[in-house]
Amino acid sequence: MFKLSPVEPMDSSTEVVYRVESWLSVVGLILLGLFNLWMIIDAIRRREWMWLGILLFFPGIGTLWYFFNVFRDAGLRGFELPGALSRRRIKELQAQIHHLDKAHHHFQLGDVYFQRGKLDQAEACYRAAMERDAQDIDTRAHYGQCLLRLKRPSEARPLLESVMHEKPDHDYGHTMMALAETLTALGEMDNALLYWQHITQNHAYPRAKVQLAELYLAKGKPDLASAEIKDVLADDPHAPAFQRRRDRVWVRRARSLAREVS
């Protein structure tokens, strides 16, 4: 008969390494589970039902895919500026700046950084563009919007107002929305209200309607606020997919306001 040889006990150093590896594995699994749960909650809040299925059935790979394609969502959700978003585009513009140093190259690079949420880098690019061409209307508008997002509304105001004097519907009303937000940040609610009213008469942007509704509520006019909120919620199901992704932050705020009004 064969005899089983006794198992040699692990020495103390091997046992410590084994316990550390086991502990790290457990911690890693817990962190991965929490990260996946975070993305699942985010998908539910955004009503991304297809992505929710991917997160539930393909944890790990699906979680990373969702994080980079939906959660990050090009930096600033709910706001819009034209501009390419790829790393290749950044390298192209940096090369053009190095060789040519033109104002519009700095401006375009600022737009890319703005959309990626890198506001400090965007501000530096817009400032460089302004140094080379302070009269360009697009540079002034986007620089003002960047300063607003950097919580410097007093600096943003003269830039945005100068654009409004030249072209009130610049960027299809987006510059006027930025000016209205700037005035709100500066506490000039009555002036901001006038701009929001003008925008909503000419455009159906949820960003404008929601912030107008918030001002109406602050002024004790729930009926007027309710009308704006209902418009946003009624239009959302019929909007194109790209627009729904862009505006979902405002639609969520509209739903929250609807609960306050009701």
DSSP one-letter code for 237:
G
Instruction: Give me the residue spans of the domains in the chain.
Output: 32-72, 76-203, 204-262
Element (H, E) at 46: helix 12-46
The CA radius of gyration of the chain, in Å to the nearest whole number, is 25
Q: Are 110 and 142 in contact (CB under 8 A)?
A: yes
pLDDT of residue 122: 96
CATH superfamily of 76-203: Tetratricopeptide repeat domain (1.25.40.10)
Instruction: State how far Cα 29 lies from the chain centre.
Output: 29
Q: Which has the higher per-residue pLDDT, 83 or 240? A: 240
- Rama region for 150: left / alpha / beta (φ>0; ψ in -120 to 50; rest): alpha
Q: What contacts 4, CB < 8 A, 6 or more positions away?
A: none
Alpha helices, H only, 47-57: 49-57
Per-residue pLDDT at 217 exceeds 90? yes
pLDDT tens for 87-137 read 778 889 999 999 999 999 999 999 999 988 899 999 999 999 999 999 999
> Which pTM value belongs to this model?
0.70
pLDDT tens for 19-59 read 767 777 777 788 888 888 888 888 887 677 788 888 888 88
145: nearest Cα among 113, 177, 186:
177
